[in-house]
């Protein structure tokens, strides 16, 4: 039933919504709007998966279908049910992610303005067709951005120790990786996790609770948590 419903929803969206990314959209403005996305996604030449999958060639792709990215169970189910990323379905997802794919790890609350969504999608359309001469989008957070010693990223965390430490984390972040008002941290690449925690510890990312938690953690403990939450999605 869930798969059939997802397929019907995708078909209804294709029929009812205007195509986003029309010729009137300002792709340059879309590039500026992508700043809201770049912490989790990359697009352009050399784009890689980060917290979220890369967005090259996203138009026409079945949801949850990239073999080398670990999607949430919800996103995989949406793709199995017939959800394909078109201008219409991407527009709907950007407007209200939980409404289109409930319980995915997408923590973005939504982009309300239709012309903003159209501009962003117009820019993303430029990163299709397998071209290799496209300019790179700005990267997601890097060690250089926060002055992080590369040696810290080289620490190999113990996932079992991370599981022991994770009790405090899952008082807010859901252990199953779903988003209920608090962003998911399940399945993050370890480098992204470590960079974020050190940024909070240094006061370069501002959130009182996260700064308090990160301030109590050692480098080794942060690495252990990163290793645990990277593999947590695979746990039964």
- Phi, psi of 205, rounded to the nearest 5 degrees: -120, 130
Say which range, 11-20, 30-39, 227-236, has the weakest mean pLDDT: 11-20
**Segments forming the whole domain that contains residue 38:** 2-125
| 171 lies in the same domain as 78 | no
Q: What is the pLDDT of residue 76?
A: 92
Compare 208 and 22 and report the one with higher pLDDT: 208
Within-domain flag for 131: no
The number of folded domains in the chain is 2
CA terminus-to-terminus distance, the chain: 23
Within-domain flag for 137: no
Place of tokens 């992204």: 192
Q: 84-142 pLDDT, tens per residue?
A: 898 888 989 999 999 999 989 888 889 999 999 989 998 898 887 544 343 444 445 67
Question: Assign residue 111 a region: left if phi > 0, alpha if psi is -120 to 50, beta otherwise?
Answer: beta
Q: 138-168 pLDDT, tens per residue?
A: 445 678 777 889 999 999 999 999 999 999 8
Which DSSP string do the residues of 152-207 spell out, in sequence order?
HHT----HHHHHHHTTTGGGTS-TT---SSS---TT--HHHHHHHHHHHHTTSS--
Confidence bin at 176 (pLDDT 50/70/90): confident
CATH of the domain at 15: 1.10.760.10
Q: Are 140 and 114 in contact (CB under 8 A)?
A: no
């Amino acid at each position: 039933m869930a798969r059939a419903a997802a397929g019907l929803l995708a078909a209804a969206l294709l029929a009812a919504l205007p195509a986003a990314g029309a010729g009137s959209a300002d792709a340059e403005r879309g590039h500026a709007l992508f700043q809201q996305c770049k912490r989790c996604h990359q697009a352009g030449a050399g784009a890689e998966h980060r917290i979220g999958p890369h967005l090259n060639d996203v138009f026409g792709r079945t949801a949850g279908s990239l073999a080398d990215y670990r999607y949430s169970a919800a996103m995989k189910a949406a793709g199995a049910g017939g959800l394909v990323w078109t201008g219409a379905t991407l527009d709907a997802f950007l407007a209200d992610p939980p409404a289109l794919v409930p319980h995915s790890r997408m923590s973005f609350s939504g982009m309300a303005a239709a012309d903003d969504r159209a501009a962003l999608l117009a820019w993303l359309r430029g990163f299709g067709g397998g071209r290799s001469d496209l300019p790179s989008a700005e990267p997601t957070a890097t060690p250089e951005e926060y002055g992080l010693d590369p040696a810290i990223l080289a620490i190999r965390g113990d996932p079992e120790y991370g599981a022991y430490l994770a009790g405090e984390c899952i008082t807010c972040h859901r252990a199953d990786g779903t988003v209920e008002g608090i962003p998911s941290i399940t399945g993050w690449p370890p480098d992204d996790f470590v960079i974020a925690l050190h940024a909070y510890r240094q006061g370069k990312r501002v959130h009182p609770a996260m700064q308090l938690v990160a301030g109590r953690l050692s480098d080794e403990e942060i690495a252990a948590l990163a290793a645990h939450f990277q593999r947590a999605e695979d746990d039964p």
